[in-house]
Amino acid sequence: MDNDGIFSVLYDKTSDFIDEFIDKGIPCEDLEQERALLIAEYIYDNKYIDKSDEKIIAELKLGYSEKINEMISQDEIQSDVSKKILKRVNKVNDAAIKYKEDFFVKPTPKELAEYLGVTETYILDTVQMSGYEITEIDFEPEKGGKNGS
């Protein structure tokens, strides 16, 4: 049997692999793609030669489970980082709004840092993380005092 035929047979025999991961946050298309790539690599590396069908399927299932679980772990790590960044951005944005309500002016980064008890670098880094969406901070105060914007 040629490699295309082997691929088709293995692809058919592994169709249930995605069932375990269908509700784990990875799109079905990605699950299918990973299954196809794993099978193609398995064939390319000739790992199927001199093995029973059961052994081949067991090895593919193990490899697939490891790969998808790795993807899930990476997604969880990225999600945690995103949540921390969002929390930080919201904290700075909310503080800038509160500052403006309390003092009737937009705070400078330095004033907001003092208001929150953090460094000015923390404020500037957070603004950068937000994609410069925090607009309640005055980055160009007038010389000699507050500009009242």
* pLDDT tens track for 37-92: 999 999 999 888 899 989 999 999 999 999 999 999 988 888 889 999 999 999 99
pLDDT digits (tens, 9 = 90+) for 7-16: 999 999 999 9
pLDDT at 146 over 90: no
pLDDT at 26: 87
CA dihedral 72, 78, 84, 89 (to 10 degrees): -140
pLDDT at 118: 95
Report CA Rg, the chain. Answer: 27
Calpha distance 132→129 (Å, rounded): 7
pLDDT at 147 over 60: no
- Higher pLDDT: 132 or 63? It is 63
pLDDT at 141: 58
121-144 average pLDDT score: 84
Structure tokens at 102: 């309390």
List all residues 6 or more positions away from 60 whose beta carbon is below 8 Å from its beta carbon. 10, 14, 17, 38, 39, 42
Structure tokens at 87: 């929390």
CA dihedral 42, 43, 48, 50 (to 10 degrees): -140
| Distant-in-sequence contacts of 64-70, Cβ < 8 A, 24+ apart | 64/14, 64/17, 64/34, 64/35, 64/38, 65/20, 67/34, 67/38, 68/21, 68/24, 68/26, 68/31, 68/34
Domains of the chain by start residue, with CATH:
3-79 (no CATH), 81-129 (1.10.10)
**Average pLDDT of the chain?**
89
pLDDT digits (tens, 9 = 90+) for 14-28: 999 999 998 888 899
